[in-house]
Amino acid sequence: MRQGEAAGPVWALGAMSGTSLDGVDAAMLQTDGHRIHGFGLDGYRPYSDSERATLRAALGCWPGEAGVAAAAAVVEAAHAELLARFPQAEVVGFHGQTLAHEPGARGTHQAGCGQRLAEALGKPVVWDFRTADVALGGQGAPLAPFYHHACAQWMGATAPLAFLNLGGVANLTWVNPAVAAPELPGALLAFDAGPANAPMDDLMLSRHGRTHDEGGALAGTGKPDEALIARLLAHPYLHRMPPKSLDRMDFPELPTALAGLDDADALATAAGFAAACVAAGMAHLPAPPSRVLVTGGGRLNPVLVRMIAERLPCPVDPVEVAGLNGDMLEAQAFAHLAVRVLRGLPTSCPGTTGVAAAVGGGQLSDPTDFRPLLGRA
């Protein structure tokens, strides 16, 4: 019997602060680390303009560098404020805020200390999910695919499908729900496909002082520069075989390329490039997916979603059509992963991060006795 196999479900609280820097999502999930047993309450705590500016100032920075301590303080305070609203949580999965990500070089850096959060909440907190994977040669990202596998099985899916998360970057997960466990060969292939919301959000902030193009309203009045998109598709990252992962700052040439376009055309071109990256990524999948389910903030941009759908040969729908919550899927993923860490189960594998073998990541900071969570019948 595998470790944790006999243990029953617990209510876990997951938190996510993504590369879009909009705020913190939190969601309750009842899980045994293998399957989804129930969905609970969720919540959102936006970052203020000053908090977002503090985080932006620390992007690309590593521990000890200027601005990192201030960014970590923002992350910890925002999470503590939001997560305190969920007293029923038995364990917390805390991702932190990614400031820098260089697998194969300096590693990966998520701001925020799980120990401080555990002390503030008085609950066990699982955190630092990526470091172990990177140390063993993996990309450290994406980490949501193990949860995507659980979602596909919860849906009752039988044919391969894909999850597309449109955050600051676009993540693709191909899932074969017929394979019993996510770490088994043939269950998953996952990778970052390319930029998504981040270039559009940055453009809106620099030109209009707004955090994003609400509903794709401005992009919808523009025309994509297809010649520019074709040139951008020559980027070497897009031609690397997965697994592979991106940092928010990994396409520095994109803002320069868009600088000569007016606002609407620049946004439409950024959306078109994101769609083209997703289409290029589909060529890497082991088999054509029966459908693509879109999650993350970008699914609320109808211009971006339409451009993606026009380039793909299968149905493209928001995850809500499958009964899932596209705003909270990543937060739920870290609730699920927290329970897997507690029970000694893998959180990444060769098909998701390129790590040599299935590995369990995460540190546990525990101000309480968490042992009952390990073996509940």
What are the per-10-residue average pLDDT scores of the chain (377 residues)? Answer: 60 92 96 98 97 96 97 98 98 96 90 96 96 93 96 98 95 97 98 95 94 96 98 95 85 92 98 98 96 96 98 97 97 98 97 96 83 55
Number of domains making up the chain: 2
Q: How many angstroms separate the CA atoms of 271 and 265, rounded? A: 10
233 lies in the same domain as 117: no
Task: Please tell me the predicted confidence (pLDDT) of residue 372.
Answer: 59
76 lies in the same domain as 181: no
Q: How many angstroms separate the CA atoms of 214 and 327, rounded? A: 15
Asked whether residue 5 is domain-assigned, the answer is no
For residue 53, give the CATH number of its domain.
Answer: 3.30.420.40
227 lies in the same domain as 169: yes
94 lies in the same domain as 198: no
**What is residue 57's three-state secondary structure?**
helix
Asked whether residue 164 is domain-assigned, the answer is yes
Task: Please tell me the predicted confidence (pLDDT) of residue 373.
Answer: 65
pTM, full prediction: 0.93
172 lies in the same domain as 102: no
Task: Please tell me the predicted confidence (pLDDT) of residue 3.
Answer: 40
Task: Please tell me the predicted confidence (pLDDT) of residue 248.
Answer: 75
**Contact, 255 vs 199, CB < 8 A?**
yes
311 lies in the same domain as 179: yes
Task: Please tell me the predicted confidence (pLDDT) of residue 376.
Answer: 43
Supply the mean pLDDT for the chain: 94
Can you give the residue range of the structural domain that contains 88? 10-141+329-373
Show Cβ contacts of residue 143 under 8 Å, excluding neighbours closer than 6 positions: 129, 130, 333, 334, 337, 347, 348, 352, 353, 361
243 lies in the same domain as 173: yes
Task: Please tell me the predicted confidence (pLDDT) of residue 20.
Answer: 80
